[in-house]
Amino acid sequence: MLAKISPILAYGVFLSWALITILPLVWMGYSSFKTNEELVRDIYRLPNALIFNQDHEFQVIARSLNVVLNYDPETDPRERIILESTTVAPTRRLMVYFLIKEDMPPAIQALVPGDKLVLRDLPFGTRTRIGWEMIWFNYSSAFIRGTLAQKFVNSLIYAGLGTLFIVFFGLMIGFSLAKLGFPRLSKVISALIGLGYLLSINSVIIPLFLLLRRIGLTDSHLGIILVYTAFGLPMSVLLSTQFIKGLPDSLIESAYIDGASTLRTFVSIIVPMTIPVIITISIVNALGIWNEFLLVLVLASSEATKSLPVGVFSFSSLTSQQLGWQLAALVIAVVPAMAVYFAFSKQLTQGVVGGAVKG
Amino acid sequence: MNRRDRQRVGIFLGMVAPGLVIYLFIVAYPIFYSVALSFSDFNPNAGGAWNLIGFTHYQTMIQDPYFWHSLKNNMIVVGVSVFGQIPLGLLLAYILYRKMVKGVNFFQSMVFLPQFLSTIVIGLLWRRMFSADGPVATLMQWFTGDPRAQFDLMLQADTVMYPIGFALIWMYTGFYMVIFLANMQKIDGEMLEAAMIDGANEVQVFFRLMVPLLAGTILVSTILAIAGSLKGFDLIFAITTQGLQRNNAMVLPIYMYQTAFQDFTNPMRFAYGSAISNAIVVVSFVLIGISNWVGKKLDPEEV
């Protein structure tokens, strides 16, 4: 009896778990292409208004101060016909497109402010261009209004350089502890660094802030990278010491006999052989830094140093009425992490099992 | 010490130094700084001078209702991870281990995924899902047939921790599942087969064989869960809106953050904030001690 029910039960449990994991993310994904109005009207319907909807209606508006131009009228004097959507934030000048008047057919050239037209009325090339711009409306708005491009680059810098230092310094210490002798000193150092396993950035954020403020490293890339490096070292040292201990001593001895210096042995023999561990350390740390929040929230006071999670968070508090933009910002932050996850899920699993990730 | 030895020491220190210096400066030094700060009257509003003044901040803390409120919520989070995430993770891992479902890799990567997404993004996503008229409320409207049904658990002080608990289980169960699965795969399969041949069913194998064999792993996971839940900040910070809702769901790390970095009129904000964050460390050591003790009581040989 039980044997017959249990597979059904097992599938039931896993399928519902997988669905509960995936469906919110799927909803977030397709909803990020919906307009605010669509999201309010029916929260589950598929996007329509922005996806090459030929009936999407526009109104011709006059140039005024609150229209942000996408061209410089000083250098480009050609006259424009300005269109604004009548359904997406009408009269708020958020969704505005420009047509060069002289390139348009006579019927459109004749339009004056106040006239209405639908996407279908436009000539084919223009229709396609505006169609694509409409699809990415939420994304381009989030990128421009939340200056997310800059925060994306900052997050890349933190994750990239932080991981580089973690790997490099961690490997240097791991190699010294494992192969250079000095057993007692090595034990002291590895115990000292092992203590860092018990700590997280959250538990010492106040002294860290005061310390970095005194030496003027708050709100700077360097300060943030230093903190990430220091807190990534315990795991990096632990894993690389374990791994390098397992490499045969004869490798290093023969390098010495050939006249290589310690540094040279490290760079040209140890580093290439440690690649599997380097990959695990890199992915786990890069993802961890990419997703970290509190440190940057506390240290970064200007837009120039904020990371993507902090940018997305403050963007979503500032634009609480623009659901579509917020969802687009969430997708922007999640997609790179998901790509790394699916590309390296084997190494990530190994890293977690090997004690690399703290719960 | 001859010249060659000195050279070797030099090389050793040269290799260790860059990382070690950063580590001591950024990780080790702030620990002492934090302890000293919590016993001081450091006033950032009036220059930098400070004296040690003893246990004053800890006395304030004991009488602070917000502290106890946050500690209570923190204990709920600990309870959700120790009695929710870990048993569920164990169960899911067992189902995968016994190959009761096909597509083990697919299911594993689905359940494991949220662990590696930004906690802030997950929090914001669930804030949206749980909003009064959001997707979850719409589902409720379909099922109950009441077009005005709203999801109001997030809005009330005594229910706000339920949806948060759900989000915590959603996020972290996969982590424990992967740890348990890896440790199950180290177990000798013959033992299980012998038990099966003797007529034990899956439930008996799970409780009589698997749980005792994994006692050590379960204890380690419990310790990880306690430490992780006590310092968790991001998820609850993002899932709640600033103000009343965040205060209702406040946990110690958020209270520490608000005290130190948002309560600008409080002259003791950094000192008191440090006292709170030291209390977090003390509480987690106590809980870890308790779970070690319980583990030894239950199973003196394995642990």
Kindly report, residue by residue over B17-55, the tens digit of the pLDDT.
Answer: 999 999 999 999 999 999 999 999 988 877 767 888 989
- Residues B119 and B171: beta-carbon distance below 8 Å: yes
Q: In which order are the strands placed within the sheet that holds A57-61?
A: A96-100, A80-85, A57-61, A116-118
B29 lies in some domain:
no
Q: How far apart are CA B138 and CA B117, in angstroms?
A: 25
Residues 194-253 of B with CB under 8 A from A: 201-203, 221, 224-225, 227-228, 231, 233-234, 237-238, 242, 253
For chain B, say whether A235 makes contact (Cβ under 8 Å).
no
Q: Do B231 and A180 touch (CB under 8 A)?
A: no
Chain A nearest-CA distance from B59, in A, is 20
At residue A359, the pLDDT reads: 42
For chain A, say whether B116 makes contact (Cβ under 8 Å).
yes
The number of folded domains in chain B is 1
Q: What is the pTM of this model?
A: 0.91
Token pair of B275 as six digits: 């006292």
Q: What is the ipTM of this complex?
A: 0.91
B33 lies in some domain:
no
Q: Which residue has the tokens 């009343």?
A: B244
Size of interface A-B (CB pairs under 8 A): 246
Domain of residue B256, residue span = 61-298
Q: Do A210 and B125 touch (CB under 8 A)?
A: no
Q: Do A182 and B18 touch (CB under 8 A)?
A: no
Give CA separation, A133 vs A98, A143, A252, in Å.
Answer: 12, 13, 59
Q: Do A312 and B20 touch (CB under 8 A)?
A: no
Lowest mean pLDDT among A274-278, B1-5, B108-112, B250-254: B1-5
Q: From the candidates A5, A14, A36, which should be mutated to test the interface with B, based on the most B CB atoms within 10 A?
A: A14
Among all residues of chain A, which has the CA nearest to that of B129? A24
Q: How far apart are CA A54 and CA A122, in angstroms?
A: 10
Facing B16 at nearest CB: one of A6, A189, A357:
A189
- Chain B residues with CB inside 8 Å of A6's CB? 100, 202
B154 lies in some domain:
yes
B153 lies in some domain:
yes
Lowest mean pLDDT among A221-225, A335-339, B115-119, B193-197: B193-197
B35 lies in some domain:
no
Closest by CA to A293, choosing from B122, B135, B252, B218, is: B122
- pLDDT at position B202 over 50: yes
At residue A357, the pLDDT reads: 56
Helix (H, G, I), strand (E, B) or coil at B34: helix
At residue B258, the pLDDT reads: 95
For chain B, say whether A22 makes contact (Cβ under 8 Å).
yes
Q: Which domains does chain A have, with CATH numbers?
A: 57-135 (no CATH), 147-353 (1.10.3720.10)
CATH number at residue B153: 1.10.3720.10
B26 lies in some domain:
no
Greater confidence, B126 or A262?
Answer: B126
Chain A nearest-CA distance from B206, in A, is 13
For chain A, say whether B5 makes contact (Cβ under 8 Å).
no
For chain A, say whether B89 makes contact (Cβ under 8 Å).
no
- Chain B residues with CB inside 8 Å of A208's CB? 26, 30
The pLDDT confidence band at residue B300, using thresholds 50, 70 and 90, is low
At residue A132, the pLDDT reads: 93
Query: Facing residues of B16 across strands?
Result: none
Low-confidence residues of chain A: pLDDT under 70: 1-5, 355-359
Q: From the candidates B39, B121, B214, which should be mutated to test the interface with A, based on the most A CB atoms within 10 A?
A: B121
Q: Do B124 and A358 touch (CB under 8 A)?
A: no
At residue B77, the pLDDT reads: 96
Q: Do A291 and B172 touch (CB under 8 A)?
A: no
Query: H-type helices in chain B, by residue range?
Result: 3-23, 29-38, 56-62, 65-80, 86-97, 104-112, 119-129, 135-144, 161-184, 189-197, 202-204, 211-213, 215-231, 234-239, 244-248, 252-261, 269-298
At residue B19, the pLDDT reads: 94
Q: Do A199 and B31 touch (CB under 8 A)?
A: yes
B11 lies in some domain:
no
For chain A, say whether B39 makes contact (Cβ under 8 Å).
no
- pLDDT at position B303 over 50: no
For chain B, say whether A260 makes contact (Cβ under 8 Å).
no
